[in-house]
Structure 1
Amino acid sequence: MGVVVPIDESRPDPEASLADLVALVSSDMERVNATILSRTGSDVQMIPEVANHLISSGGKRLRPILTLATADLCAYSGEGAVKLAASVEFMHTATLLHDDVVDGSDMRRGKVAARIKWGNEASVLVGDFLLGQAFRMMVEVGSLKALDILSAAATIIAEGEVMQLTAAKNTGTSEDEYLAVIRAKTAELFAAACEVGPVLAGRNGADQAACRDYGMNLGIAFQLIDDVLDYGGTSASLGKNVGDDFREGKITLPIVLAVRRGDDGERAFWRRTLEEGDVSDADLATALEILRRHGALEDTMDRARHYGDMARHSLAGFPPSPMKHALLQVVDFCIARAH
C-alpha cells in the first residue's frame, strides 16, 4: 500500500518542470538515442536483448539530458556531447543492472528486472558490456579531461556500492555515513554528467566546478526524494515495488532519522526487521507509523529541498538564458516527484 505524503498545491507538476529542458535538448537527444541503439548491437544475441529490456523501459534519461544541457549552457554543440551523453546513460544502465543483482530486486522501471528474466550472470555481464561501450565512446571523443572525470566517477560509484554493502542492515549508520554513500553511489554520476559539458566547451575551472556542484547537489536531492518515495510513493512513480527498501533491509535517511529519535522499543523493531530480516506483512505499516511519528519523511524532504537550493545557487554565475532557466526547473522536478 502506498503512503500519501501531504501535497503542496503550489509546487509544480513534476513533468511540467522537466518539459522545457526536454524540449531544448530534443534534437540532440534523438542523436543520443540513435547512438544508444547502435552501440547495444552485438552478434551475441542475449546482449541487445538484456540491454534493450532496460534501456527501452521508459526512463527519463535525466543524466544524459544534463550532459547535453550543461554543454549547451557553456555554448558547446557537437558530436562530443552526444557521445558523452550516451556514455553517461550506459554507465547508469550498467549500475542498475548490477544493483538489481546485489539487491535481489524483482522490478525495475515498472518491469520485471533483467535478472529475473535472464539470470544474475547475464545481468552482470551485460552491464560490463555497456561499461566497455561507454569507455570506447569516451575515447572516441578525444577529451582526456572528460575521460578522467567519467572514469573517476565509475570508480567512485563502485566504492559507493561497497560502502552501501557495509552500511546495509546496520541501524547504527549515521546521517553523515549515509550521505557519503549516496554522494558516491548516486550523486557522483549526476556531478560527472554535468561537469563534462563545460569541459568540452573549454570553459575555465570555475564554470566546471559550478556545473559539477549543480549536479552533485541535484543528485543528492534526487536520491533523498527516492528515499521518501519508497515509503510515500506508488509503484508507477517509483519504478519498483513500494517498500522494497524496507523489505531489503536498506538503511536510508528516513530510517537513520527515526532510529536516532526513537525509543528502545522502536529501535528493537528496526533491528528485527532491517538487521535480522524478520519482516511480517504488517511491519511496513508499523514502519510508516514510526517514521511519521518522528517526522522522518518530512525532514528528509526538507533536506532534499536544502540540496536543491544549493544546486540552484551553483548556477548563479551563469547569465540568464532559456537553458539556465530550464536547469533551475529540473530542481523543481526532482523535489516535486514526492508530491
Structure 2
Amino acid sequence: MTATVHPLRDKREPSLEPIISLTAPAMNSVNTVILDRMQSKVPLIPELAGHLIAGGGKRMRPMLTLASAALLDYPGARHHKLAAAVEFIHTATLLHDDVVDGSDMRRGKRAANLIWGNPASVLVGDFLFSRAFELMVEDGSLKVLRILSHASAVIAEGEVDQLTAQRQVETSEEHYLAIINAKTAELFAAACRISPVVAEAGEEAEEALESYGRNLGIAFQLVDDAIDYSSDEATMGKDRGDDFRDGKVTLPVILAHARGTAEDRSFWKAAMLGERTSDQDLVHATSLINSTGALADTMERARHYGRRAIDALAMFPTGRSKAALTEAVEFAVARAY
C-alpha cells in the first residue's frame, strides 16, 4: 500500500508563503544579525558557516520565533537577535550532524565536512553555538537564556541517544519518539516559546506556543523520515536512502520490522547493520515499508501531531498570523508531496 497524504484541511496546496510574507521585514533584520555575527578574523569561519547558512534553508525555526511574536502583536525588536541565535544553534547542530552521519549532501549542496574536513566543521559549529550564547546574554533575560540553553542541552542528548540507537532495529516506537522530541522538536518548541517571554504575554501563551512548536517539530521529523523512502534528492536536499544506508532506525523501519515476516525482520537486521545497503536493497526496503503500511502510518502520525500543533493555537485570535502558523503546519506535513 502506497501512502496517500492529504492536507489537514481541504484547501489549495499548503505553502510557506504566508509565514514568509508575514515575517519578511523582521527576517531582513535577523539576516543582518546572522551575517554580522558569523564574521570572524579567521577567514575559514565565515566561509564554512556561509556555505550552510546561505545554502537555501527555509529559516523555519527563526521564522517561527518571528511569527509567534507577530501573533502576540509584539512591537519590539528583541526577538530579532534571539531568532538569529535560534538559527545559529540549528546550523551548529547540522554541521555536527553531518560529521556524525557522513552524509554527502545538505540543503541540496555538498556537505561542508566533505569540503573543509570534519575538524573544521566541528569547530565552526562550536563557534556558532558560542555566537548564539552571546546573543542570548546580550538580550539580558535569564528566562530566555534558560529556555535556549536547556534546548541546546536536550538536542545534544537527543543526538547521543539516536547514536546509541543506531542500527538497533528493535528500538521501540516510544523510544524513537523520545529521540525526535529531543533532537528536533525541542528547538521548534524553544523557538516559539521565547517570543511570548519577550512579549510578556504570560505563562498560558508560553505553554500554548511551546506546544505548537513541539508538535510541529515532531510532525516535521516524521515526514523527513517518510520521505527518505518515498522521495528524491531534489525534494529532500540530501541523498535518497541516506537514513537507510546509515542504519538509522526511523519510524517507517520500526513499523515495517514489527509487522514483517521472519524473513523480513532478518532483512531489516542485516540492512541496519550495514550488510544490505545496495540500491536494490533500498528498493526492497521501500517495498516492505509500503506493503506493511509503515509509510502510510508514519504519515498518519505526522498528521496527528500536526493537528495537535494547530489545536494549540486555539487561544489566539483569528487573523493573518494565526493563519500563517496554521498553514506552516500543513506545509510541513504535505511538503514532500
TM-score bucket of the superposed structures, by smaller chain? over 0.9
- Checking the alignment, whether the CA contact within 8 Å between 2:193 and 2:207 is kept in structure 1 is yes
**1:316 aligns to what?**
314
For the aligned residue pairs, the C-alpha RMSD in angstroms reads 1.3
Query: How far apart are residue 322 of structure 1 and its match?
Result: 0.9
Measure, in 1, the Cα distance between the counterparts of 2:323 and 2:6.
22
Which residues of 2 match residues 1-339 of structure 1 at below 5 A? Answer: 6=4, 8=6, 12-14=12-14, 17-339=15-337
Q: Identify the range of structure 1 (216-225 vs 232-241) with the bigger mean alpha-carbon deviation.
A: 232-241
- Checking the alignment, whether the CA contact within 8 Å between 1:228 and 1:338 is kept in structure 2 is no
Query: How far apart are residue 36 of structure 1 and its match?
Result: 0.5
- Checking the alignment, whether the CA contact within 8 Å between 1:12 and 1:336 is kept in structure 2 is no
Seen in structure 2, the aligned counterparts of structure 1 residues 12 and 335 have a Cα distance that, compared at 3 Å, is: farther
Runs (5+) with no aligned partner, structure 2? none
Measure, in 2, the Cα distance between the counterparts of 1:221 and 1:293.
22
Percent same amino acid at aligned positions? 55
- Checking the alignment, whether the CA contact within 8 Å between 2:173 and 2:254 is kept in structure 1 is yes
Amino acid at match of 1:26: A
Q: Identify the range of structure 1 (270-279 vs 250-259) with the bigger mean alpha-carbon deviation.
A: 270-279
SS at match of 2:279: coil
Deviations 1:237-293 (A, max 9, x none): 111011100011100000010111111100000111112444223100100111111
- Checking the alignment, whether the CA contact within 8 Å between 1:22 and 1:65 is kept in structure 2 is yes
Amino acid at match of 1:145: K
Measure, in 1, the Cα distance between the counterparts of 2:220 and 2:106.
17
- Checking the alignment, whether the CA contact within 8 Å between 2:226 and 2:299 is kept in structure 1 is yes
Deviations 1:281-309 (A, max 9, x none): 31001001111110000100000000000
Q: Identify the range of structure 1 (60-69 vs 4-13) with the bigger mean alpha-carbon deviation.
A: 4-13
- Checking the alignment, whether the CA contact within 8 Å between 2:231 and 2:336 is kept in structure 1 is yes
Query: How far apart are residue 78 of structure 1 and its match?
Result: 2.3
Measure, in 2, the Cα distance between the counterparts of 1:11 and 1:120.
45
Seen in structure 2, the aligned counterparts of structure 1 residues 300 and 7 have a Cα distance that, compared at 3 Å, is: closer
- Checking the alignment, whether the CA contact within 8 Å between 1:11 and 1:336 is kept in structure 2 is no
Runs (5+) with no aligned partner, structure 1? none
Query: How far apart are residue 234 of structure 1 and its match?
Result: 1.5
Measure, in 1, the Cα distance between the counterparts of 2:84 and 2:127.
14
Amino acid at match of 1:79: A
Measure, in 2, the Cα distance between the counterparts of 1:54 and 1:78.
29
Measure, in 2, the Cα distance between the counterparts of 1:335 and 1:164.
22
Query: How far apart are residue 13 of structure 1 and its match?
Result: 2.9
Measure, in 1, the Cα distance between the counterparts of 2:57 and 2:41.
26
Measure, in 1, the Cα distance between the counterparts of 2:107 and 2:275.
25
Measure, in 1, the Cα distance between the counterparts of 2:211 and 2:325.
13
Measure, in 2, the Cα distance between the counterparts of 1:208 and 1:234.
37
Amino acid at match of 2:46: P
Measure, in 2, the Cα distance between the counterparts of 1:322 and 1:313.
16
Query: How far apart are residue 215 of structure 1 and its match?
Result: 0.1
- Checking the alignment, whether the CA contact within 8 Å between 2:103 and 2:239 is kept in structure 1 is no
Deviations 1:63-83 (A, max 9, x none): 000001111212213221100
- Checking the alignment, whether the CA contact within 8 Å between 2:105 and 2:239 is kept in structure 1 is yes
SS at match of 1:320: coil
Query: How far apart are residue 7 of structure 1 and its match?
Result: 6.0
Amino acid at match of 1:119: G
Query: How far apart are residue 331 of structure 1 and its match?
Result: 0.8
- Checking the alignment, whether the CA contact within 8 Å between 2:309 and 2:329 is kept in structure 1 is yes
